Amino acid sequence: MKKQRKHCHYCGEITIKKYEDNVQRDFCPACKSFFYENPLPVVSAILESSRRILLVRRDRAPSKGLWCLPTGFAEAGESIEEAVLRELEEETGIMGKIVRLFDVDSYKSRFYGDLLFLTFVVQQTGGKLCAGDDCSQAKFWPVNKLPPLAFRSNKVALEAYIKSRRDYWAIFDSIEYTDKKNIPPAVAKNSLTRRLVNVIIKNKEKIIEQWLEDVSVNPSTAEYHKVAREVLYNICDRILSQLTLWLGGLHDVDKIRGFYTKLGRERKKSGFKLSGALSALSLIRKHIWTFALAQDALQKNLELYMTFELQRRMTIFFDLATFYLTRGHEEK
């Protein structure tokens, strides 16, 4: 528990409580001086390496035995940036440089009173990992297996940091596992491909409805105007299913060839012109793309790669679909 002031540290007189600017403060009646209790600045460092976060295990109270970010009080005479780099080196042996201030949080400690946590993202520039002052261990923890943390402010900052990095990690996973069939479950769950597929699956009904409204009146698809709505719905539903399988890596070129060659034969047998069938297919692509761009997730600068990747994969899919639908339609 934080000790309370009882005496003036200038003259030793017993202090009293007195209001100043509607705030009750300690006051020395002999010196006529107020004492101000301001929050103590605490610095923490987030150092990430390959999706692992550097943590230290505390070797003294408060929260002895629990893990936290390299954390400590700023000292008089040093800048807040100097403080975080000093604490990092003292507690972990690692030297670093400031990347940016990431989070600021207020916290009331029963040991120290009001604290102001300033959390910085740092990058390693040298040193060797070893437990230092006030720590029994220092190690990197995977972001998905972090231990319980000693300080709430560390927990809040790390949750926000991990959330801010997920899109970048998804992009790198998409690149790394593009041509690999066996993707680790944890990667697959958050991969760019899975997220693209989810956009289509979750909004399939809306995409189909938009396509139905268009294909039933568009001059380029005149033969579709008289087709029953449920028949058109089934056509679009089948194509969207094929696309999601393709994006998810569950459909290869042979399956695309078989599906669209058969679809081309069906359109020809039903009396549809090739131009109308291709136009209807193109309109499906249009409405998927239009809907995807309307989503907030694809408006962020961070999602530029995701937008490009969706366009690239859809282009391959629909180019294959167009070619094999045409071939099937042309078969005698």
Mean pLDDT (the chain) is 82
Say what the pLDDT of residue 85 is.
97
Is residue 12 within 8 A of residue 87, CB to CB? The reply is no
Say what the pLDDT of residue 324 is.
83
Say what the pLDDT of residue 54 is.
97
Q: How confident is the model over 52-59, as a mean pLDDT?
A: 94
Residue 178 has pLDDT above 50, yes or no: no
Say what the pLDDT of residue 327 is.
84
Q: How confident is the model over 278-296, as a mean pLDDT?
A: 79
Say what the pLDDT of residue 254 is.
81
Is residue 99 within 8 A of residue 121, CB to CB? The reply is yes
Q: Tell which residue, 170, 160, 155, has the closest CA to residue 71.
A: 155
Assign 72 to helix, strand or coil.
strand
Which of 8-22, 94-108, 170-184 is least confident?
Answer: 170-184
- Give the residue extent of every domain in the chain: 40-165, 191-330
State pTM to two decimals: 0.53
Say what the pLDDT of residue 95 is.
96
172 falls in which pLDDT band (50, 70, 90)? low
Residue 121 has pLDDT above 80, yes or no: yes
| Element housing 103 (H / E) | strand 94-109
Is residue 67 within 8 A of residue 55, CB to CB? The reply is yes
Residue 300 has pLDDT above 80, yes or no: no
User: Which of 129-133, 141-145, 240-244, 294-298 has maximum average pLDDT?
Assistant: 141-145
Convert the pLDDT of each residue in 69-114 to its tens digit. Answer: 999 999 989 999 999 999 999 999 999 999 999 999 998 877 777 8
Is residue 243 within 8 A of residue 317, CB to CB? The reply is yes
Which of 29-38, 144-153, 171-180 is least confident?
Answer: 171-180
Fold of 191-330: Globin-like (1.10.490)
Say what the pLDDT of residue 48 is.
94
Say what the pLDDT of residue 13 is.
80
Residue 128 has pLDDT above 50, yes or no: yes
Say what the pLDDT of residue 93 is.
95
195 falls in which pLDDT band (50, 70, 90)? low
Say what the pLDDT of residue 309 is.
62
Residue 149 neighbours by CB under 8 Å, 6+ apart: 55, 66, 67, 68, 69, 155, 158
Convert the pLDDT of each residue in 199-252 to its tens digit. Answer: 788 888 989 999 999 999 999 898 889 889 998 998 899 888 888 877 766 667
Determine how β-strand 48-49 pairs with β-strand 94-109.
Answer: unpaired
Cα separation, 5 vs 117, whole angstroms = 24
Residues 40-165, CATH architecture:
Alpha-Beta Complex (3.90)
Convert the pLDDT of each residue in 305-327 to its tens digit. Answer: 556 666 667 777 888 888 888 98
Residue with the bigger pLDDT between 298 and 28: it is: 28
Handedness of CA 59, 126, 73, 70 (dihedral sign): negative
Handedness of CA 228, 230, 234, 236 (dihedral sign): positive
188 falls in which pLDDT band (50, 70, 90)? very low
Is residue 127 within 8 A of residue 36, CB to CB? The reply is no
